[in-house]
Amino acid sequence: MNASHSALAYIGHLCGYTYVHEAIEDKDIYNFILNFLDQEVLPTLETKDDFNINEYKMKILERFKNTYIEDKLLRIAMDGSLKIPIRILDTYNNNKGATKYIQFIIASWLFFLFQIIKEDQNRLDDGNKEYFYSVYKNNKDNFFEEIINNKNIFNLSESKKEEMLTAVKKNLNLMKENPLKSLLKEIIS
């Protein structure tokens, strides 16, 4: 369920929210996260005994709505290069079906990363921040592609990497031209 936490952080922040509970209360973001879990995460998980994964999923989503937990999206969004491989890319590698949600989450993370560096490099808190700064400074036009080609972050087969790169480029172009909220509506419909 940590994948949903990270996804919520990038998408919520890019939609202008500050806190987890604000972002998850947005109907489109909630439905995006729910569909992501149902269609791309849960099918990759094995459960044991009588563990009810759907009940657990709903408890987590309800916890995200708790207004007393003032967890900032920006805090969760940091250290993406350490969280994304474990929380998102492992699921991507294990997924046998369509991965439009994962691909959109990766595009959101990269867009978030680019925006944070562009606005104020001192705001980025990531173990690979020097690498990201270097890519931004020396190869800004190919920022996204260079990061996806970094095997330390994106440990993907060539076919999975090409699939991801194509989808991320498409999503990033859409993000540059359209409000994120309208793209979320399109994905969940």
Task: Spell out the domain ranges in the chain.
Answer: 2-188
CA distance linking residue 121 with residue 113, whole number of Å: 10
Alpha carbon distances (Å) from 113 to 62, 66, 118, 123, 127: 28, 27, 9, 10, 13
Segment 92-102 shows an average pLDDT of: 92
Amino acid at 97: G
CATH topology for 2-188 is N-(1-d-carboxylethyl)-l-norvaline Dehydrogenase; domain 2 (1.10.1040)
Segment 52-63 shows an average pLDDT of: 91
CB 135 within 8 A of CB 143: yes
The torsion angles phi and psi of 185, rounded to 5 degrees, stand at: -60, -40
Report pLDDT digits (tens) over 118-127: 998 788 999 9
Report pLDDT digits (tens) over 167-186: 999 999 999 999 999 999 99
Amino acid at 40: E
Segment 123-144 shows an average pLDDT of: 94
Residue 65 gets the label, from left (phi > 0), alpha (psi -120 to 50) or beta, of: alpha
Most confident by average pLDDT, 10-24, 83-97, 121-135: 10-24
The torsion angles phi and psi of 36, rounded to 5 degrees, stand at: -55, -50
**Beta-carbon contacts of residue 7 (< 8 Å; ≥ 6 apart):** 32, 33, 36, 88, 101, 105, 108
Predicted model pTM? 0.95
Strand partners, 19: 72
Mean pLDDT estimate for the chain: 94
